[in-house]
Amino acid sequence: MKIFLAIAVTVAALAATSRAAGATGTVVIAYADGSTKLYRDVRIIIWNESMAITSADGQGTVVFGKASCTKIGELVRCLPYDATLFQNGGKLHIALASGTVWLNPSREYQPMSHSSTEIPPRGVLLAVRTRHGTDVTMTGTVDEVHR
């Protein structure tokens, strides 16, 4: 199943309010060697059945294209198993070992089960680990939705 196949159905309400004034996503990449990299103001776009995350300078985009998604209450939880990095005119497949994406397609804050965390309207939380041991986390809101 493509990532966000379930989301495609549940984000219809987002379409009218999908354009944000500015990118709000923050990505932290923690490499296996202990170094980290922080990306602020990343754009989060849901395009058909994929989720694209683009750096503020537009130089790099990671696309999550396949996942198993389930609706849990008002939230959508996806377990991604495919990602591709587009950068410098090239394309690199990223092998994922594990990960979870949470999306709140509603217009209200939604609590995560068994957690004190609330996800804002159009909010996204992502945490994945690559097969090389790199951890990627992201928080933000969906900037655009395209069907």
pLDDT, tens digit, for every residue of 19-71? Answer: 445 788 999 999 999 999 999 999 999 988 799 999 999 999 999 988 899 99
Question: What is d(CA 60, CA 64) in angstroms, rounded to the nearest whole number?
Answer: 13
Answer for the pair 120, 97: CB distance below 8 angstroms, yes or no. no
Entry pTM: 0.83
pLDDT at 11: 44
The DSSP element (H or E) to which 5 belongs, if any, is helix 5-10
Cα R_g (the chain), whole angstroms: 14
Answer for the pair 70, 10: CB distance below 8 angstroms, yes or no. no
The DSSP element (H or E) to which 7 belongs, if any, is helix 5-10
